[in-house]
Amino acid sequence: MQDLVQDALDNAEAEKRDMDVDMDDDEFGDPRIVIVGAGGAGNNTVNRLYNIGVDGADTVAINTDKQHLKMIEADTKILVGKSLTQGLGAGGDPKMGERATEMAQGTIKEVLGDADLVFVTAGMGGGTGTGAAPVVSKIAKEQGAIVVGMVSTPFNVERARTVKAEEGLEDLRNEADSIIVLDNNRLLDYVPNLPIGKAFSVMDQIIAETVKGISETITQPSLINLDYADMSTIMNQGGVAVMLVGETQDKNKTQEVVNDAMNHPLLDVDYRGASGGLVHITGGPDLTLKEAEGIANNITERLEASANVIWGARIQDEYKGKVRVMAIMTGVQSAQVLGPSTQKQADKSRAAVNGDDLGDSRSRAAEANGTAGNAAVSGGTDQGAWESDGGSDPTEQNNGLDVIR
């Protein structure tokens, strides 16, 4: 038996070396992932993601505020609503943000292209992010992508913004497949004594690390693999999703990492009725199969027996002696945001009956794009290209849309 185990270990090392070589081979292709940040908070997240790097994902920043957008680094930057706002922002009016983004939909369609998975990140309660996020989600969904909203909600004291945020969340819920909501009020539990600027930076980092974690989970090979199909299965169940993140160096990794995750949920909801769960574990070479399975089991034991749970694990040398778990529970019922509407479920059922699969939606999207005027996108990331007009659609030309890639 010992010889059998040793042979298996030797073969595993050889397979790992072969896998590292094959990583440079693009023969099979990867799912295309696009991360869109809408408004100030969304732009800040995209800027952070661009700088830390996300393997296999493109970043897009959309804003009505020209000065803020100039400071952001992203693969593509789109200034919308220039004729409406003169590049000065939406003034906290979500309707203005919505209208400005709708005027640029031709360019947004082109930039999103044939994306398979689109993250839309924004801060709810402001003007541009609240208004633009549902529009971007709708465009991405119509083009056949799985759409995941990743948004933050305002502090309770921000009463007017809270009302706008609730309305924006409802609009976003109706357009995205799933939305992950992070509550700024939870920062009071996490970092109550940090200066306010640094506290918000923590939220930006949390969102950025989550998007990066999800993206690289499906673009990088793992010991127990999670792929795009797994992500689609879980996220397609719709509604609100809650994210849990935990990390520990404790000897009792199996329980302590789960305790860390359970004690710090960023949306204060009971996820026991969740319809799906995606769990990804990252550990060092010392992580055992028993530990990984134990972590996945402990973090999902609150779910119903019928819940669809998919888990994966990745080994990274820098995690030697510690372990990190990221879990997303979908289909959660929340007092802040309702779950998937009956109408949305009915639409999905009808689509399934009519054979309206992903391929059909892509075909229709391609046909629609073929007849609509597509926006021209200027090349280069230098700031000198900033004032070039984008878009062959008359509305976009009149809007004075600026695009930098």
Q: Residue 45 has what DSSP assignment?
A: H
Annotated binding site for GTP: 40-44, 127-129, 158, 161, 204
Q: Which long-range contacts (CB under 8 A, 24 or more apart) does 79-88 make?
A: 79/401, 79/402, 79/403, 80/104, 80/132, 80/399, 80/401, 81/399, 82/399, 82/400, 82/401, 82/402, 83/398, 83/399, 83/400, 84/399, 88/64
Residue type at 174 in one-letter notation: N
Nearest Cα neighbor of 216 from 73, 37, 75, 35 is 35
Give the whole-angstrom CA distance, residue 113 versus residue 222.
28
Residue type at 245 in one-letter notation: V
Strands (E) in 29-135, as ranges, are: 33-38, 57-63, 76-79, 117-123
How many beta carbons lie within 10 A of that of residue 64, not counting itself? 32
DSSP three-state, residue 119: strand
CA distance to 76, 98, 102, per residue, from 139 (Å)? 17, 12, 9
Q: Residue 27 has what DSSP assignment?
A: S
Annotated binding site: 40-44, 127-129, 158, 161, 204
Beta-sheet pairing, 323-332 with 276-283: antiparallel
